[in-house]
Structure 1
Amino acid sequence: MKLSIVHKAAALLLATGFAAGAAAQEATLRLVSAFAENGIYVQRLQPWIQKFNAEGKGVLQINFIGGPKAMPPFEVGNAVKTGVVDMALNTGAFYTNVMPEADFLKLTQVPVAEQRRNGAFDAINKVWNEKGNMQYLARMVENQPFHIYTNKKVEKPDLAGLKIRITPVYRDFFQSLNANVITTPPGEVYTALERGVVDGYGWPIGGIFDLNWHEKTKFRIDPGFYDAEVSLIMNLPAYRKLTPAQRDYLQKQLLALEAQNTFWAQYTADEVARQQKAGIETIKFDAATSKSFVDKAYQVGWASAEKQSPEIAGRFKPLFSRK
């Protein structure tokens, strides 16, 4: 079934045509999104693509193929790895099937600009090149903590008896809080909430209105934990095929994209207010419990990373953590 889906997607994407023959001066990169086209992430990316193409005529262009209607979200990582597409807007949680280390990106606690300065980006790309056949290009989302959203009120950080929809991002953490965890694609969450298949879900502070989940959500647990990672990744052979001028242009535009990340702090504040207005109540713990809750999230996260890939987790942890 999965192979059939990938083959169909490959046929669709290859039919759009690519790319830079040996004599061509301009290359076109096919980009697919693991996120819905009406969601905030793609909405933020579209003006960047337009600017990229306007300024990159004769050098480099991006052909945006689409979102989950073009390719299922959990197949996007493998499509990048194998070159079915050249680039993707994706999150590590969606391509742990390609490389489990992709999930480690949620544990970053320093800004992306600092990650570029302190060697974290280089360390990430060493792993992405070797294990994923990918180049990690840019992180376009920051300051977007994850939260637990529920339809049942809890008095303490304990999810015993609750069925919570998860991705790999918070599987281990939610299980440490005694939740019964269920994995579904984002497109199935609304119906799962409506039918009582799940009692809640994990998701960043932003984006639930894009999916209409606010209609089926009663509570948000504060504080948030981890930081949502949404990034551009690229097939490594396609990246290496670029000319120096094309690669320089790509890098210039990627840095410009990351420079817009100041947007997310205000977006977080706006989303909190919007959720409150929509009737979503905030569950807050006392200061000591809140600190313990967040500390536990990172302890569980790093313990899982070290169990999965001790050498790589050991490399990443000092570069990802606050000093």
Structure 2
Amino acid sequence: MKSKFVQSAFVLAISLASSTTVLAQEVTLRLVSAFAENGIYVQHLLPWIGKVNAEGKGVLQINFIGGPKAVPTFEVGNAVKTGVVDMALNTGAFYTNVMPEADFLKLTQIPVAEQRKNGAFDAINKVWNEKGNMQYLARTVENQPFHIYTNKKVDKPDLTGQKIRITPVYRDFFQALNANVITTPPGEVYTALERGVVDGYGWPIGGIFDFNWHEKTKFRIDPGFYDAEVSLIMNLPAYKKLTDTQRNYLQKQLLALEAENTFWVKYGVDETARQAKAGIQSIAFDAASTKAFKEKAYDIAWTSALKQSPEVAAKFKSLFSK
């Protein structure tokens, strides 16, 4: 009787130990977004988080904490750097306070799949590791050119007299177009337009309906320029703490997420048509002005980048350009 009791107790102990081992192998990563939860960037990511959690039981889980109400937009980068959160959906333009090089990602002219092959992705992570205490995990948005949206019609690439809302993405370019620039979080743009605090704003081809900005927007200047970069970043110590199994699982899911980036091409086409239907008129220049407009955008951005961080910008330019 005693022998059976000891044997049962031993089996139970082994069972509990095994259970503890399984639980110990599961890690939960806290993720925040620099973008509003109802916006397309977050809405596109949520099914992926659900998939990660469904397939990653016992290995890795992601706890989506929320958007700017959880951590203010321009503080998300620092929250990742310092480990307040483990991961974030963010764009480099929102964490230039952590490192100016983050803004250079808008200048990529090749797909992220190619960036992983030609060394660009590794070059990014070398800088992110050393300067940001971060791991650059995946680019979740591509093929989303930026545009100038305005309520004042122009017939040439000149924004003289216009007050334009910016982020660091297009500060130098808009100033070169003679705009008076104003920085505000996305959540304040609608009111700024309504009150005439700004005449327009810079934003990608998609997403303005998420904020109802279409209600206060008359014109979109074509063509677009740069490429909106929205990515997943992670606190470097948290990334290094992952086991090989956890890291491999996360990498598998990240590559699957990037493989879905073809979504953004059709989304851009649909959003362009939707804007036209909403009454937003396209302003297009002649061929020569259009070519000069795009070339000026990149020339100014790379010139600025080379001044801010010469070695990094030179390396990135060779890897990011077509």
TM-score, normalising length from structure 2?
0.93
Higher helix share: 2
Secondary structure at the counterpart of residue 211 of structure 2 = coil
Match of 2:207 in 1: 207
Amino acid at match of 2:62: I
Which sections of structure 2, spanning at least 5 residues, go unmatched? 1-19
Give the superposition deviation at 1:288: 1.1
Match of 1:133 in 2: 133
Match of 2:144 in 1: 144
Alpha-carbon distance between aligned partners in 1 of 2:22 and 2:77, rounded to the nearest angstrom: 27
Alpha-carbon distance between aligned partners in 1 of 2:254 and 2:300, rounded to the nearest angstrom: 32
Alpha-carbon distance between aligned partners in 2 of 1:139 and 1:21, rounded to the nearest angstrom: 33
Amino acid at match of 1:72: P
Match of 2:198 in 1: 198
Alpha-carbon distance between aligned partners in 2 of 1:22 and 1:186, rounded to the nearest angstrom: 42
Distance 1:290 1:268, change over 3 A: same
Alpha-carbon distance between aligned partners in 2 of 1:179 and 1:121, rounded to the nearest angstrom: 34
For residues 189-240 of structure 1, the C-alpha deviation after alignment (integer angstroms, 9 at most, x for no partner) is 0000000000000000000000000000000000000000000000000000
Give the superposition deviation at 1:22: 11
Whether 2:228 is the aligned partner of 1:228: answer yes
Quick check: which has more Rg, 1 or 2? 2
Q: CA RMSD in A?
A: 1.2
Match of 1:247 in 2: 247
Distance 1:317 1:221, change over 3 A: same
Secondary structure at the counterpart of residue 208 of structure 2 = coil
Alpha-carbon distance between aligned partners in 2 of 1:56 and 1:255, rounded to the nearest angstrom: 15
Give the superposition deviation at 1:274: 0.1
Alpha-carbon distance between aligned partners in 1 of 2:31 and 2:21, rounded to the nearest angstrom: 18
Give the superposition deviation at 1:292: 0.6
Match of 1:63 in 2: 63
Match of 1:48 in 2: 48
Alpha-carbon distance between aligned partners in 2 of 1:186 and 1:265, rounded to the nearest angstrom: 23
1:103-142 aligned within 5 A: 103-142=103-142
Whether 2:30 is the aligned partner of 1:30: answer yes
Q: Is the 8 A contact 2:164 2:181 kept in 1?
A: yes
Alpha-carbon distance between aligned partners in 1 of 2:154 and 2:197, rounded to the nearest angstrom: 18
For residues 244-263 of structure 1, the C-alpha deviation after alignment (integer angstroms, 9 at most, x for no partner) is 00000000000000000000
Match of 2:8 in 1: none
Alpha-carbon distance between aligned partners in 2 of 1:232 and 1:21, rounded to the nearest angstrom: 29
TM-score, normalising length from structure 1?
0.93
Give the superposition deviation at 1:287: 1.1
Give the superposition deviation at 1:23: 7.5
**Count of aligned pairs:** 303
Amino acid at match of 2:87: M
Secondary structure at the counterpart of residue 210 of structure 1 = helix
Give the superposition deviation at 1:21: 11
Percent same amino acid among aligned pairs?
A: 84
Match of 1:100 in 2: 100
Amino acid at match of 1:59: V
Alpha-carbon distance between aligned partners in 2 of 1:200 and 1:304, rounded to the nearest angstrom: 23
Secondary structure at the counterpart of residue 154 of structure 2 = coil
